[in-house]
């Protein structure tokens, strides 16, 4: 499931993050990928361990924590601290799949990457090219969103970032381990959740919405890995 979640960050938060990123030191994006990714990745990233990176990541994490749509769609167990990247003219990231497991800085164990997220920090009119292209069974989907908007997609998908031909594309990105490993089940739960919310809006609480809510939670109980 590809899902567009609008206004994850307020425009004030976008401005604060952008201003601080202007004066940050950036490194080669190949620092955080394996051998296949390194061959096709040409961009710059904020260093993972920098104090600046951690503070900006905390702003994004707080925004995610208050977003019910993100929770319903992703059903997170935990996420990697968000990272930040920029693509200037000629930079791109060719077809690749994100690594299946990652070490979380400062946490024991590994994180399984079930859901990938890209949070746009540049407005679409600030750059040409730079679309995120995600493949699924329906073909390829091009994504270029307003600043502050987020796209979530299954980490199992092959995807790329098209070359930027003018201007600069700045984004945050991160991975989440979901309670629901399987994308199809996660999508079904999301659809059920949205449908119940819509019914509740029209009918208020009634025996049928209570029964469907019970069904949602019982499915989640069957499938959840925490
Ligand atoms: Ni990727």
CA of 209 to the centre of ligand 1 (A): 39
Inform me whether the pLDDT recorded for 32 exceeds 80: no
Class of domain 3-178: mainly beta
- Residue 8 pLDDT greater than 90, yes or no: yes
Residue 103 Cα distances to 44, 81, 106, 110, 155, angstroms: 21, 11, 9, 5, 16
Give me the residues paired with residue 184 across strands: none
Distance in Å, CA 79 to ligand 1 centroid: 15
Distance in Å, CA 160 to ligand 1 centroid: 7
Question: How many whole angstroms from 210 Cα to the centroid of ligand 1?
Answer: 40
Q: How far is the CA of 217 from the centre of ligand 1 (A)?
A: 32
Distance (angstroms) between ligand 1 centre and the Cα of 196 equals 33
The whole-number average pLDDT for the span 87-96 is: 95
CA of 96 to the centre of ligand 1 (A): 6
* Environment class of 54 (CB within 10 Å of its CB; exposed 0-12, middle 13-18, buried 19+): middle
What is the structure's pLDDT at 131? 98
Handedness of CA 94, 75, 15, 57 (dihedral sign): negative
Give 202 Cα–ligand 1 centroid separation in angstroms: 40
Q: Given pLDDT bands bounded at 50, 70 and 90, which one contains residue 54?
A: very high
Distance 165 CA to ligand 1 centre (A): 20
- pLDDT tens digit sequence for 160-199: 999 999 999 999 999 999 999 999 999 999 999 999 999 9
- State residue 28's pLDDT score: 87
| Fold that domain 183-223 belongs to in CATH | DNA Excision Repair, Uvrb; Chain A (4.10.860)
* pTM of the complete model: 0.95
pLDDT band at 85 (very low <50, low <70, confident <90, very high): very high
Domain ranges of the chain: 3-178, 183-223
Task: Provide the pLDDT for residue 10.
Answer: 98
What pLDDT, on the 0 to 100 scale, is given for residue 184?
96
In angstroms, what is the span from residue 143 Cα to ligand 1's centroid? 13
What DSSP assignment string belongs to 186-211? HHHHHHHHHHHHHHHHHH-S-HHHHH
Check residue 3 and give its pLDDT.
97
């Amino acid at each position: 499931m590809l899902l567009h979640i609008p206004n994850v960050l307020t425009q004030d938060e976008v401005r604060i993050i952008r201003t601080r990123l202007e004066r940050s030191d950036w490194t080669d994006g190949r620092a955080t990928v394996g051998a296949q990714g390194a061959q096709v990745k040409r961009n710059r990233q904020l260093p993972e361990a920098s104090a600046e990176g951690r503070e900006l990541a905390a702003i994004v994490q707080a925004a995610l924590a208050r977003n019910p749509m993100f929770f319903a769609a992703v059903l997170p167990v935990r996420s990697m601290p968000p990272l930040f990247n920029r693509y200037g003219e000629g930079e791109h990231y060719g077809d690749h799949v994100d690594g299946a497991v990652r070490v979380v800085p400062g946490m024991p164990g590994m994180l399984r990457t079930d859901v990938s997220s890209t949070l746009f920090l540049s407005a679409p009119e600030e750059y040409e090219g730079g679309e995120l292209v995600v493949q699924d069974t329906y073909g390829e989907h091009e994504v270029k969103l307003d600043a502050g908007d987020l796209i979530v997609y299954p980490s199992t998908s092959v995807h790329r970032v098209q070359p930027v031909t003018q201007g600069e594309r700045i984004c945050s990105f991160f991975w989440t381990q979901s309670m629901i490993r399987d994308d199809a089940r996660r999508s079904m739960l999301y659809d059920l959740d949205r449908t119940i919310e819509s019914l509740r809006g029209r009918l208020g609480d009634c025996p049928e919405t209570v029964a469907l809510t019970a069904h949602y939670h019982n499915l989640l109980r069957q499938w959840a890995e925490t």
